[in-house]
Amino acid sequence: MNVNTGVSATTGNVVEYNGKAYAIWTEPNGSAKGQIRVKAYNGNTWTAGDLGVSLNYDDTKDAISPYLALHNNELYAIWQENNSYWQVRVKKFDGTSWTFVDGGQDNGINHTKSNGRNPKLAVYNNDLYAVWDEASGNGINQIMVKKYSNGQWAYAHQDVSSSNSNLRTGINKLTTTAGHSPSIIAHQSKLYVAWHEGSPLQIRVAEYDGSTWTFVDGGSDTTGLNHDTTKSATSVSLQVYNDVLYAAWSESATKNQIRVKKYENGAWAYADGGQATGINFNTGEEAYFPVLYAYKDELYAIRHEGSYSSRQIRVSKYNGSTWTSADGGQTVGLNRTSTNSANNGSLFAYNNELHAMWYEGSPSQIRVAVSKSKPQILKGDANGDGVVTPADALLVNKYIQGKLQLTDEQKLRLDMNDDMVIDSIDASMIMSIYLGKGV
C-alpha cells in the first residue's frame, strides 16, 4: 500500500483512531529523501491519512523511524528527521489537520546539536511521554525521556552531566555506556522503559513513578535481563498481558533467539521455557525485531526469521503457559510471496480482528494481513459430508496414481499427518478412522 509502489518503504506501526486504522511508515520521494506517510483504513479501503502530503518538517530532508500513539482523542506521530543532526519531530492529528507540537521550528524536541534516534511514545498519568536514544556531545548514546504537558515538553529525568552545553545524560544504567532502541509502556501506576546497553549488549529496564527512575532488571552495572549475559541482546519490546509486564528481545546464540520474560511481584521470570532456545518457530534460524501485542486473552509475538534473502514474518501466541504458532505453522510465514524477504512486523486490532503489517520484497512494499479463523474440518472427509468412508481413502489412492487432481481444500482434509504430502500413509489413516481404530 505504498504511496509510490516503485520505491521501497519501511514500516512503523498502526493504531485505531476515530473508527479507522491509521498506519505510518517511511518511503523516499523523487529526491530519494525519506518521507513520513500515513494511510487510514475503514475496513474496505486505504486512503490518505496524511491528507496527501508527507508529515516531514522539510521534505528535502530524510525522515525515518515513525511511530503513532493516541492521547486525549488525538493522534500523535513521532519520528527522526535529518537537519544536520537527527531531530526528533512530533505532530498531532485532530481528525482534520496535522500540527507540529515540537515547536515547529528547524529543530525538534532533542538537543539541537545531538542525533536523536528511534523515538517512541506512551501515555502515563494522562500525559504524553516520548523516549529516544541520543548521541550527545561525547557520542555516547543516552536514553532520553520527555513529558508533554500543557503544550510544553520537559525532561522527565535529571541531567548529571558536566556544564558542557552539548552534553546531556539520560537514564542509562551507566551514562558512560551507550544505550539504544528504547521501548516504553505504562503499567500499574508506573512508566517502564527498556533498551539495550553495554558490551555485550544487555537488556535494561527502569521504572518511573512520576519523580524517580529505578532499575528493575537486577540493578547490576553490567548485566540485565539477558538469558546469557555473555551474549548481546537487542530490539526489546514491552507489553502488558493479563496485568503483567512482559519483555521480548532478540539474543545472540548459535542462531539469534527470541527470548521472553515477565515481571511480576518485583521479579522477572522466563515466559519462554528458560532453555537454550527461545520461541523461534525454527530455532535453527536467525530471528530479529520481536514486537509483543496483547489481544483477546492471548499475547502475540511477531518477528522476522530466516536468512537475509528469504526472511519470513512469523507470529506466535501465548496463553499464559504455552507458546504456539499463530501463522499457520508451516515452513513459510505470513509473507505475501514466500520467496521474498520480509522485515519488521507489527500487530494491531481493528474491527474485532487481529492484523499484521510488515514490509516485503524489492522494492519493499507495505503489506497488511488479517487473521481469519479457519472453518472446522473433519480430517479424512474429502467431500465435506461429515463422514469418513472408504471412498475417501480411494480418492487418495487415485490421486497417488495420478488419476485425478485434488483441490487445495481436499488436500487439507486428506493430509492426515500434516506433512504436506498426500500418500499411502494418509490412505491407511483414513481407513483406520473408518474402522474405528483411530489414527
Predicted confidence (pLDDT) per residue in 157-198, tens digit:
987 655 555 667 899 999 999 999 999 999 999 999 999 999
**Which domains does the chain carry?**
10-370 (2.120.10.80), 374-439 (1.10.1330.10)
Confidence of residue 51 (pLDDT cuts 50, 70, 90): very high
pLDDT for the residue numbered 382: 86
Residue 106 has pLDDT above 70, yes or no: yes
Q: Quick one: what percent of the chain has pLDDT higher than 90?
A: 80
pLDDT for the residue numbered 435: 86
- Of 135 and 113, the structure prediction assigns the larger pLDDT to 135
What average pLDDT score do residues 259-286 get?
97
Whole-model pTM: value is 0.85
pLDDT for the residue numbered 166: 60
Residue 138 has pLDDT above 90, yes or no: no
Instruction: Tell me which amino acid residue 142 is.
Output: Q
CA distance 198 to 215: 15
Mean per-residue pLDDT of the chain: 93
Burial classification of residue 362, based on how many CB atoms lie within 10 Å of its CB (0-12 exposed, 13-18 middle, 19 or more buried): exposed
- As a whole number of Å, the end-to-end CA separation of the chain is 45
pLDDT for the residue numbered 79: 98
Q: Which residues contact 105 (CB under 8 A, 6 or more apart)?
A: none
What average pLDDT score do residues 352-375 get?
91
CA distance 60 to 177: 34
Predicted confidence (pLDDT) per residue in 192-235, tens digit:
999 999 999 999 999 999 999 999 999 999 999 999 999 999 99
How is residue 70 written as a grid cell? Answer: 493516541
pLDDT for the residue numbered 153: 96
CA distance 108 to 57: 10
Predicted confidence (pLDDT) per residue in 302-318, tens digit:
999 999 899 999 999 99
pLDDT for the residue numbered 159: 73
Q: Which residues contact 163 (CB under 8 A, 6 or more apart)?
A: none
Q: Taking a C-beta distance cutoff of 8 angstroms, is the pair 102, 125 a contact?
A: no
Size of the chain in residues: 439
pLDDT for the residue numbered 376: 64
- Of 138 and 67, the structure prediction assigns the larger pLDDT to 67
Confidence of residue 408 (pLDDT cuts 50, 70, 90): confident
pLDDT for the residue numbered 163: 52
Q: Which residues contact 273 (CB under 8 A, 6 or more apart)?
A: none
Residue 405 has pLDDT above 90, yes or no: no
What average pLDDT score do residues 238-253 get?
98
Confidence of residue 8 (pLDDT cuts 50, 70, 90): very high
Instruction: Tell me which amino acid residue 313 is.
Output: I
